[in-house]
Amino acid sequence: MARLILTRLALFVPTLFAASVILFIAINVVPGSAARSALGVDATPQAIMRFEASNGLNRPLAVQYTEWLGKALRGDLGTSFQNRVPVAPEILKRLPTTLELAILAFLLANAIALPLGALAALRHRGTADIAISTLATILGAIPSFWLATLLVLIFSLRLKLLPAGGYTPFFDNPRQNLTQMILPAVSLGLVSSALLLRIMRTTMLEVLNSDYIRTAHAKGAPEWIVITRHALRNALIPYLTVGAVEFGFLFGGVVVIEDIFRLPGIGSLVLVGIINRDYPVLLGSALVITIIVLFANMLVDTFAGLLDPRQLRPREAGR
């Protein structure tokens, strides 16, 4: 077991570095853009040169990256071009909000996907399957920001049941916090559930067609035992591995949803960064979100490995 976890961790670290390189390159894809953006269209060439010099932007990229990386590893993600405030503490402050949104949406998505996907597989080609598959197709086509808008229209404006935005930290007022998080989490979670539902349905179908399920039936086990004791765990393993791809979509959605509901998370910080052309802010927040996604991927992958005896205890030689 330790070996499994360690291998996953060992792969994780270089992936993080590679990701940071990619982000750094992406943001510097067009040279000189940082200065021009910060200073505006009518900046004089001298002003640009001064800006670049004072911010160290005129050195080779590799050097810039190394310096940035060095600082980042010590927890320093630079200071905002705009207001000269350090970036890292701001990100840290916003972290709980983003995590709360992501976790709630994730839980909701799975709460929908797992039972419905399994049900669809069990009633393959029956009415339930058709209905559920159609639902998945429709949900998968709805843009999360449109769903959010519609939900606000109905539940905030018309029914006046839920707030249209704003955020109170959980520990200040749990009830208000959760009420504020309902619409954001539902917008994100419902749309995420579509892909996960399809994945669950597919893996469950494969499992239900395998020989060991036939054995379970041949032992005279009733359907609910076949499902719970034999099918579920085996279906969960590939579900987790394949479904991990949804994290990327989920956190992409976080950026938009935080904007709509005015949630002070890292996602909205990304937007602040791009709108103000504040490169350290943008780079810092994009990096942190990417780290979270990669970390979540690694967690899920490891968990799937732990569930699978074939990965946990590989067959020893000489049996």
Partner 1 sequence: MSAFADYSVRRHGLLTLGVALVAMVVLSAVFAPWIAPYSPYDLDVAVMLEGPSRAHWLGTDELGRDVLSRTIFAAQISVKVALFAVGVGLTGGTIIGMLAAYCGGLVDMVLMRLMELLFSFPAILLAVVLMASLGTNVLNAMLAIGIIFIPGFARLARASTLSALQQQYVEAARSIGMSHSRIIMRELLPNVVTPLLVEAAVAFAYAVLLESALSFLGLGAQPPEPSWGNMLNTGRGFMAQAPWLSIVPGSALFLCVLGFNLLGDGLRDMLDPHLRD
Partner 2 sequence: MALPPRDRAGQTLEIRDLSIAFSTPRGHARVVDNVSLSIGAGEIVGVIGESGSGKTLTALAALGMLPRGARIESGRILLGGESLLDMTERERRAMRGDRVAYIPQDALRSLNPTLRVGVQVGEPLVVHRATPWNIAKRKGVDLLAAVHLRDPERQAEEYPHQFSGGMQQRAMIAMGLCLEPQLLIADEPTTALDVTVQAQVLQLVREIRREHGTSIFFITHDLGVVADFCDRVYVMYAGAIVEEGPVDRIFERPSHPYTRGLLRATPAVHGSKEALVPIPGQIPLATERPEGCRFVDRCAFAIAPCRSPPPWVEIEANHRALCVRAGEAEIAA
- Interaction site with partner 1 (CB under 8 A): 15, 18-19, 22-23, 26-30, 33, 37, 124-126, 130, 137-138, 140-143, 145-146, 149-150, 152-153, 157, 202, 205, 245, 247-253, 255-256, 259-260, 270-271, 273-275, 277, 279, 282-283, 286, 289-290, 293-294, 297
What is the smallest separation between the CB atom of 239 and partner 1, expressed in angstroms? Answer: 16
Question: 198 or 230: whose CB is closer to partner 2?
Answer: 230
207-228: b or e for each residue (b if 16 or more CB lie within 10 Å)? bbeeeebeebeeeeeeeeebbe
* Residues 101-140: x where in contact with partner 2 by CB under 8 A, - otherwise, as a string: ----------------------------------------
Told to check if 211 binds partner 2 by CB under 8 A, we report: yes
CA separation for the pair 88, 80 (Å, rounded)? 10
Residue 154: CB atoms within 10 A of its CB come to 13
Closest CA to 278 of 80, 138, 21: 80
Find tokens 């943001």 and name the residue: 27
Work out how close the CB of 309 gets to partner 1 at its nearest, in angstroms, rounded to a whole number.
Answer: 26
* Closest distance to partner 1 from the beta carbon of 318 (Å): 31
Question: Residue 107 binds which one of partner 1, partner 2, none, with CB within 5 to 8 A depending on kind?
Answer: none
**Under DSSP, is residue 49 helix (H, G, I), strand (E, B) or coil?**
helix
Report the partner that residue 17 touches, choosing among partner 1, partner 2, none (CB closer than 5 to 8 A by kind). Answer: none
The answer to the question of residue 71 lying near partner 2 (CB under 8 A) is: no
Take residue 170 and report the two structure tokens written for it.
Answer: 């959980």
Q: Which stretch binds partner 2 (CB under 8 A): 30-38, 71-79, 156-164, 228-236?
A: 228-236
**Cα Rg, the chain, nearest whole Å:** 24
Distance CA 86, CA 84 (A): 7
Question: Pick from 283, 257, 284: which is nearest to 268 by CA?
Answer: 257
Residues 101 and 263: their CA atoms lie apart, in Å, by: 9
**Tokens found for residue 90:** 């701001």
Q: Does 225 bind partner 2 (CB under 8 A)?
A: yes
Is 229 one of the binding residues for partner 2 (CB under 8 A)?
yes
